[in-house]
Every structure is written in structure tokens, then in C-alpha cells.
Amino acid sequence: MRVAIVGLGLMGGSLGLALRQHVSNHVVGFDLDGAEASVALERGCVDAVASSLAEACGAADLVVVATPVSAITGVIEAVLAAAPAATITDIGSTKGHVVAAVSGAGRSRFVGGHPICGSEAHGAMHARAELFQGATWFLTPSVESDAARLTQLHGMVSSVGARPVVIDAAAHDSIVALTSHFPHVLANVLATQVAATDVNGHSPLHSVGGSFRDMTRVAGANPAIWIDIFLDNRDAILSAVEDAQAQLGTVADALRSGDEAFLATWIATAAAARSEALAQAHRTAPADLHELLASVPDRPGALSSIAQALSAAGINIEEFSLSHISPERGGEVRIIVAGEDNATRAVELLLADGCMATHAPIIDGAGGEQ
Amino acid sequence: MRVAIVGLGLMGGSLGLALRQHVSNHVVGFDLDGAEASVALERGCVDAVASSLAEACGAADLVVVATPVSAITGVIEAVLAAAPAATITDIGSTKGHVVAAVSGAGRSRFVGGHPICGSEAHGAMHARAELFQGATWFLTPSVESDAARLTQLHGMVSSVGARPVVIDAAAHDSIVALTSHFPHVLANVLATQVAATDVNGHSPLHSVGGSFRDMTRVAGANPAIWIDIFLDNRDAILSAVEDAQAQLGTVADALRSGDEAFLATWIATAAAARSEALAQAHRTAPADLHELLASVPDRPGALSSIAQALSAAGINIEEFSLSHISPERGGEVRIIVAGEDNATRAVELLLADGCMATHAPIIDGAGGEQ
């Protein structure tokens, strides 16, 4: 298959690497930024770099538009003209707007796409062939999309190790609004609210705990990208915002009336949702995931010593985080592993390494902080 | 000083360890759970374990109530009766309710307290003398509190390395509502909202990204503790919830009207708040913190190899997290270090170790995920 990739950033570059693992694919790339294109070529993301969009697409069976969101619709129109026989897809994070913008005659050849890879890195320099392995890759055909072209794309997505999920564009946008865009809104709400509040001359921002820091990790994310995303997917995001306002109202009522039963059910539902999402991400049953907490002294090499001990024992670390709360206090490590045996063994190793450690099943709920 | 500690969990145990580093202190502990008391004694958190509250407090100059929130007010009354001359404090996470509950005659001897340590671990087993080093420790005297007793507590707090901050109980409760309790509310709101939504038969919970997982880390936190906290501090939490509803309304208006200027300012404010909070936590200037992103292959020992390389170069890791997104795909590591030189050197080491890596100043804002 002759594939053209327009936009050679992290996603376009990674897709090129993955497609080139199959010898029958030939990948030509194009990027307005010549330096980015050179990195992609050097790293083996493409067989060749074209000097124009038309040159890249002219002989392609399939064109993948991997540009920033704001450029997608314009580039698709240009590609439809430059590649009169090719199947065209994109990998933008919103779909309704893109699918609607494709003009009449081209609609049969276009199928929207969106791989859920969740990387924060940027650029072909970070490209990895494995990026799509096991990832959900949404495909959003319109009613006019040609069935054979959808099948062709389905095959391409599978060939790079992703899981194709065919879905209506509007449903796609509702899902990503909830799972990604709306969390970004909440992170911004929390960060700005705490920053804006002064309590008798004390700034709450100066005494935040780990929960605030975790919940604002994506606060203030790149405005050049996020203003576009928020506006492109505004309807679905608005619906999530309105649901949140309603739920906050219900919670406020429960607080006012001291409704312990409501709070208990609400917290239990949240705990179940968290463990279900974690289990899905790690492809295991919720009951199988265990969370370890360990206190580590603030000495050089403490972290590498822990990582080495677990690695030597063949214990796979699903997630790992260190909060180095203060230079004097040392830190607290959270590790998620699959399997109770692994959790028990990991705690033994950490204790032997001089760290206080315990573990509990994720399904029992988070510890929180007081 | 003869100190009695009632409640020998993580906090009570750590306080005992810290106080006993000064030879002039003698610490007696009591816990309703005999096993927990034994662990505390074994780990050197106390000089002796008493068999009753009265025995623990009888000869004390200072009694620290370190029980769960729901037991605090009852225990304070019992301590006031059992220790007729001692100064009494507690370490509960809400203060208005506790201070108000102390009965008339005892009010001169009682000063509320709350160290902000943010640990998720539980039990004397995790106790560490360093827990309070550099931590803010709020003291909330009432107008009836004896000034000499406040001075005595101020000295005790400083002696364990914490930073005493004297503040009105209501102001304290507003601060922790915003910085800890309200983030827990938002985490529960997000988790339950995503779990409750079905989009054309697809469960959004099955395609969440890293932002959702970060933001729901404290979702579903221990209901036995958190129902009490939410209700004890309901007024301040309600105020935060109402502010959030209002802000969500403003954001919704901006989305509806496509107000890019509002969104840009809002995102920039959130970015500044995040970097300010991080810088405060790490005692450095916001401009000094750098975030590294590195892609790590899924091979055994990849994590320990990174940690070792940085440790050998003497680069202090302020925060470290690994999202092991899928078993096939390897993971992405986020590392925060102080100082641009350290960041540059760390990237060189990671590249030499075969990981793709970049760094950027935190103050430039988060990358987010698409």
C-alpha cells in the first residue's frame, strides 16, 4: 500500500514507523515544517519526504491527515483535489466538525479517525512504532462513506496493532468530551478557583496537597491547541458541563441536608468507576489491581533502588508515581501492580529495602488525603 | 515535656517519633486498638503505651488527640477531664466544628491544630519522624485560648520541623475546603459522571486517558473518613461548590459565544496557578521547575535504568510518574526537576539510555493530551 502522511509530528511519525514495519507499505510524508520532516526521515518514519502536498498525495492509495486540529478541514479539501483516487482519513481529536466540513463529492472517499493514545510528548523525535498497540482507534464514517474504503482503513488500523471501533461522529465527540476534554475543563476550573480565592490574607495556593497537584496536571494545557478543541467540540463539552453543574447541585443538597446515605452511595460509585477504568487500561479485572504505598527516605538513589528490586523480581510496574513532597521529608511512592502475589512480594522487597510499605486492592477505593 | 498522644496511627506515631528525637521529651501513647499501639511501641513512636486514656493523660503537660475525625470531640472532652492541667490540641482536618464543641471551662486549655502532610498511607507502621519537616501546621486558637499554651504549642510544632501558622478556625476550614476537600468532590463528580453516561452503547469509562486517571486518583476515597469530612466542613465546601457552579456557567457562556479571548485568559490563569503551586511545594521559583517527558520501551528494568542514571548524576527528582499505558506499548515518564542545567543534563542521560526525551519549563504550561 502506498500511504501519504501529511503532518509528521508525534502521531504522523509514529504511524509511519508502524506502517513501515510491513514491507509491503511505502510511506511518503509531507510537513510544512522542513525541520520536522527531516527528523521524521532521519528516524525512519517515512521512506521519502515530498516537497509539496500534491507530490506527497499524487500516487497514494491512502492519505492520512495528521496536522493540528485547526488545519485539518483545509488540508482534507486540498488532499481530495490532489489525490483523486485515494482513501482519506484524519486523526484529529474531534470528528463532527471535520466530517461535516468535507464537501459533497469527496465524502465517499473520506472516513474520519481518532486514535486514543494520550501522549503528552510532541514531534517526530518522540515517534514510536508501538504508540498504537492496543489503543482504541475510532473510525467515524458518514452515511456517504464507501464501505470498501472503511474496510481498507479498518485493516490499516489493525495492522499497526490498534483496535478499530466504528462509531458515529457525534457519539465519538460525546465520548472524548467526557473522557478528555471535560477533565481538562475541570482542571482549569479548579486551578483558577484556588488561585482566585484569598482567605484572610492567606493564599490557598500555597498550601495545596497532592490531590490538587494531580487534578491540575493538565491545567493550563497549550492554549494554541486547546482553544480549538474546546470550540470544535463545544456542544458535547457543554453537555458535560451542564451535567456537572446538575451533579454539583445534588451534592450541595446532600451536604446541606446531611444526607450520609447519598454521600456513601456517591463515593462508592466513584470508587467503582475508578477501579473499572484502571482495570480497562491495564487489561485486567478490577479485583486484580493492587496499589502499593511506600514511604521513601530522601537519599540519593532511593527511587532507583526500589525500581531495581521490583525489576529483578520480575514484577511488572503498571503505574508508578513519586511525590517528593519536600526536600527534607523524603517522598511517598504509589505503585500499581497486577496480582495479589506480586503485590505481597513487592511489599516484602520494599520493606527489605528499608521503606515502609503496604498494599491494598484498588477495588477497595483510594485512600485520599486529609 | 511529658506528651501524651491519643491515637497511634500514621500521624500520632510520626509525631511521637519526631518528639522523641529531643531527649527532653517523654511520650506516652494510647490507642483503642492494642495491635496498633504495639506497632507504635515497637517502632519507637512512644516511650510507653498506657492501658487507658486516663493513664496516658494523667501526668501529661501536653496531650495531642490524633484519632479519626469522628471521635475527636468526644476524646477531647474525656482528655480535659482526665488531664486537669495539660494543654490539649488535636490534628483533625477540620477545625470550626472541633473548636466549637469544646465546652466552656476547657476552652482556655485547648488550641486546635492541623498539620498538612498529605500522606495516603495509614498506620503506625508508616510513621516517619520526617513527616512534618517543612509542612504547614495550622493552629486555630479560640478567643478563650490561653496565650501561653498557644506559645507552648507553637514551640512543639517548630521542634518537629513544621511551620506553625496561626489562623482563625473558619479561615482554616475555607482553605482546606478549597485545597483538599473540594478536589475530592470534583474527583467524585468526574468519576460518577463518566460512569453514568452511556453513549450509543459505548461506555466512555472504557476509553479514558491519563487526564481522567490523574483526576480520579482520590475518587472514591475511604467513605468512613470522607463522609465525616464532607459533613464537618460542609459550609466551606458548599461555598467552593457554588463558586465552581458559577465558574462552569461562565465557561459554558464562553463556549456558546465562541469567546476565544476568555478561553485564552482562563487557560493562562490556570497555567500560572499550577506552576505557582508546584513551585511552592518544591520551594523554588516557578521559572526554575522543568518537566521532562520521556518515552520508555516496555522492557524489564527500563524504569530502574532511568532512575539510576539520574541518581548517579546527582540530579534530584522532584516528582516522577510513569503511565504504563499498555503492556505492549511501553510507557511515558514525566519527571520534574529544578534547574535548567539539571533538565538539560537529564535529557542527555535519557537519550543516551535509549529513551526519547524532551524538557520544557513548567511555567510554559502543561502539554495536555488530545
For chain B (370 residues), the mean pLDDT of every run of 10, in chain order, is: 96 96 94 96 97 96 93 96 96 93 92 83 83 88 96 96 92 94 96 93 85 88 88 95 97 98 96 89 82 75 79 83 60 84 92 80 63
- How many domains is chain A partitioned into structurally? 3
Q: Are residues A308 and A326 in the same domain?
A: yes
Kindly list the residues from chain B whose CB atom is less than 8 angstroms away from the CB atom of residue A217: 211, 214, 274, 366
DSSP 3-state of B222: coil
pLDDT of residue A355: 78
Q: Give a yes or no: residue A140 inside a domain.
A: yes
pLDDT of residue B151: 97
Top residue of A247, A274, A332, A353 to mutate, by most chain B CBs within 10 Å, is A274
Q: Say whether A191 and B319 touch across the interface (CB within 8 A).
A: no
- Closest partner residue to A184 among B317, B358, B368, by Cβ? B368
Q: Are residues A58 and A189 in the same domain?
A: no
pLDDT of residue B98: 94
Q: Give a yes or no: residue B294 inside a domain.
A: yes
Cell of A210: 497532592
* A51 alpha carbon, distance to own chain's centre: 31
Q: For the whole model, what pTM was predicted?
A: 0.85
Kindly list the residues from chain B whose CB atom is less than 8 angstroms away from the CB atom of residue A293: 120-121, 126
Rounded Cα distance between A67 and A62, Å, is: 16
CB atoms within 10 A of CB A369: 22
- Closest partner residue to B308 among A225, A278, A304, by Cβ? A304
Kindly list the residues from chain B whose CB atom is less than 8 angstroms away from the CB atom of residue A122: 358, 367
Top residue of A207, A235, A322 to mutate, by most chain B CBs within 10 Å, is A207
pLDDT of residue A188: 97
Q: Are residues B212 and B154 in the same domain?
A: no
- Compute the mean pLDDT over every residue in chain A, rounded to the nearest whole number: 89
CB atoms within 10 A of CB B58: 16
Between A347 and B27, the more confident residue is: B27
Asked if A345 and A292 count as a contact pair (C-beta separation under 8 A), the reply is no
Kindly list the residues from chain B whose CB atom is less than 8 angstroms away from the CB atom of residue A232: none
DSSP 3-state of A92: coil
Q: Say whether A273 and B332 touch across the interface (CB within 8 A).
A: no
Domain that holds residue A218: 172-258
Q: Say whether A316 and B307 touch across the interface (CB within 8 A).
A: no
The complex's ipTM works out to: 0.85
Which residues, at least 6 apart from A207, have a Cβ–Cβ distance to it below 8 Å?
A: B116, B136, B175, B179
- Closest partner residue to A270 among B131, B219, B274, by Cβ? B219
Q: Say whether A319 and B322 touch across the interface (CB within 8 A).
A: yes
pLDDT of residue B329: 55
pLDDT of residue B293: 82
Q: Are residues B88 and B179 in the same domain?
A: no
Q: Give a yes or no: residue B249 inside a domain.
A: no
Average pLDDT rounded to a whole number, residues A230-235: 93
Question: What does the radius of gyration of chain B's CA atoms come to, in whole angstroms?
Answer: 24
Q: Are residues B221 and B142 in the same domain?
A: no
Q: Which bin fits B337, alpha (ψ -120 to 50), beta or left (φ > 0)?
A: beta
pLDDT of residue B135: 82
Q: Give a yes or no: residue B257 inside a domain.
A: no
Q: Which residues pair with A26 in a beta bridge?
A: A2
How far B58 CA lies from chain A's nearest CA (Å)?
A: 29
Q: In residues, how long is chain A? A: 370
Query: pLDDT tier at A8 (50, 70, 90 boundaries)?
Result: very high
Q: Are residues A86 and A155 in the same domain?
A: yes
Q: Say whether B222 and A367 touch across the interface (CB within 8 A).
A: yes
User: Tens digits of per-residue pLDDT, A59-102?
Assistant: 999 999 999 888 999 999 999 999 999 999 999 989 999 999 99
Kindly list the residues from chain B whose CB atom is less than 8 angstroms away from the CB atom of residue A171: 199-200, 202
Q: Are residues B159 and B185 in the same domain?
A: no
Q: Say whether B368 and A248 touch across the interface (CB within 8 A).
A: no
How far B324 CA lies from chain A's nearest CA (Å)?
A: 5
Between A185 and B333, the more confident residue is: A185
DSSP 3-state of B140: strand
Domain boundary among A146, A167, A188: A167
B301, closest residue in chain A (CA to CA): A311
Q: Say whether B199 and A174 touch across the interface (CB within 8 A).
A: yes
DSSP per-residue codes, B170-213: HHHHHHHIIIIIHHHHHHHHHHHHHHH--BTTB-GGGG--HHHH
pLDDT of residue B99: 94
Which residues, at least 6 apart from A308, have a Cβ–Cβ distance to it below 8 Å?
A: B301, B304, B307, B308
Give the domain CATH number at B77: 3.40.50.720
Rounded Cα distance between A306 and A229, Å, is: 40
Q: Say whether B263 and A227 touch across the interface (CB within 8 A).
A: yes
Q: Are residues A284 and A306 in the same domain?
A: yes
Q: Give a yes or no: residue B23 inside a domain.
A: yes
Kindly list the residues from chain B whose CB atom is less than 8 angstroms away from the CB atom of residue A17: none
Kindly list the residues from chain A whose CB atom is less than 8 angstroms away from the CB atom of residue B211: 118, 180, 183-184, 187, 217-218
pLDDT of residue B119: 63
CB pairs under 8 A between A and B: 545
Asked if B117 and B141 count as a contact pair (C-beta separation under 8 A), the reply is no
Asked if B41 and B21 count as a contact pair (C-beta separation under 8 A), the reply is no
pLDDT of residue A326: 52
User: Tens digits of per-residue pLDDT, A287-343?
Assistant: 888 888 887 776 667 777 888 888 888 888 888 887 655 545 567 788 888 899 999
Q: Are residues A7 and A133 in the same domain?
A: yes
Q: Say whether B178 and A184 touch across the interface (CB within 8 A).
A: no
- Closest partner residue to B329 among A130, A365, A369, by Cβ? A130
B233, closest residue in chain A (CA to CA): A255
Give the domain CATH number at A342: 3.30.70.260
Q: Give a yes or no: residue B300 inside a domain.
A: yes
Kindly list the residues from chain A whose CB atom is less than 8 angstroms away from the CB atom of residue B181: none
Q: Are residues A136 and A218 in the same domain?
A: no
How far B59 CA lies from chain A's nearest CA (Å)?
A: 30
Q: Are residues B72 and B149 in the same domain?
A: yes
Query: pLDDT tier at A367 (50, 70, 90 boundaries)?
Result: low
Per-residue burial over A174-206, b if 16 or more Cβ lie within 10 Å, else e, is bbbbbbbbbbbbbbbbbbbbbbebebeebbbbe
Top residue of B15, B43, B208, B298 to mutate, by most chain A CBs within 10 Å, is B208
Rounded Cα distance between B284 and B339, Å, is: 9
Kindly list the residues from chain B whose CB atom is less than 8 angstroms away from the CB atom of residue A241: 248, 251-252, 255
Give the domain CATH number at A252: 1.10.3660.10
User: Tens digits of per-residue pLDDT, A260-287?
Assistant: 999 999 999 999 999 998 888 777 888 8
CA distances from A250 to A51, A87, A253, A269 (A): 58, 48, 5, 15
Q: Give a yes or no: residue B180 inside a domain.
A: yes
Rounded Cα distance between A108 and A255, Å, is: 54
B228, closest residue in chain A (CA to CA): A260
Kindly list the residues from chain B whose CB atom is less than 8 angstroms away from the CB atom of residue A280: 205-206, 208
Residue A118 reports pLDDT greater than 70: no
Asked if B198 and A276 count as a contact pair (C-beta separation under 8 A), the reply is no
Q: Are residues B14 and B157 in the same domain?
A: yes
Domain boundary among B110, B141, B167: B167
A272, closest residue in chain B (CA to CA): B220
Kindly list the residues from chain A whose CB atom is less than 8 angstroms away from the CB atom of residue B218: 211, 214-215, 366, 368-369
Q: Give a yes or no: residue A269 inside a domain.
A: no
Domain boundary among A228, A258, A288: A258
Q: Which residues pair with A330 in a beta bridge?
A: A326
Place of cell 515544517: A33
CA distances from A42 to A37, A53, A125, B52, B314 (A): 9, 20, 9, 73, 32
